[in-house]
């Protein structure tokens, strides 16, 4: 049993179909949950989902990666959210160039992931760039 599973169980939240979430940038090097080799492995253990679909409404891809999101409908509001969640993401919705805000499909579960201060500090420059892009009207939805 992974070490993280021994402690407190992670919070799993069912998202409403059409709820908007915003990708969190700068998390590629974030510390993996203790006892897990990847964020998607952590997600699968918390939700018991073996082959989840990508979270983004309209996407037919498989959730092969654990994407970091904030439960906020825009990059501006996401900047004020502290909690990070993991959702299953296809490569297109998990890569840096696709970052933005997305509606989720029915049945999407989000798993809260604890983040270190170092991880939060590392994501700040990317969040700043996303805020500028949002102010210029260049974020996705």
pLDDT at residue 140, as a whole number:
46
* Residues shown for the chain: 141
Question: Which string of DSSP letters, residue by residue, matches 69-89?
Answer: EES-SSHHHHTT---EEEEEE
Binned at pLDDT 50, 70 and 90, residue 125 comes out as low
Summarize the confidence of residues 78-91 as an average pLDDT.
88
pLDDT at residue 5, as a whole number:
45
Q: Is the pTM of this model over 0.75?
A: yes
Q: Cα 51 from chain centroid?
A: 17
Summarize the confidence of residues 42-56 as an average pLDDT.
95
- Position 81 pLDDT exceeds 90: no
pLDDT at residue 66, as a whole number:
93
């Amino acid at each position: 049993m992974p070490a993280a599973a021994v402690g407190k169980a992670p919070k799993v939240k069912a998202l409403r179909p059409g709820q908007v979430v915003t990708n969190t940038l700068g998390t590629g090097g974030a510390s993996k949950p203790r006892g897990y080799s990847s964020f998607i492995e952590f997600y699968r253990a918390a939700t018991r989902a073996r082959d989840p679909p990508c979270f983004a409404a309209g996407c037919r891809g498989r959730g092969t990666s654990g994407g970091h999101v904030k439960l906020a409908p825009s990059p501006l509001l996401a900047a004020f959210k502290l909690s990070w969640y993991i959702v299953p993401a296809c490569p297109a919705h998990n890569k840096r160039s696709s970052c933005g805000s997305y509606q989720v499909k029915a049945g999407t579960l989000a798993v809260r992931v604890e983040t270190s201060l170092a991880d939060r500090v590392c994501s700040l420059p990317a969040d700043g760039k996303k805020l500028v892009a949002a102010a210029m009207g260049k974020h996705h939805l």
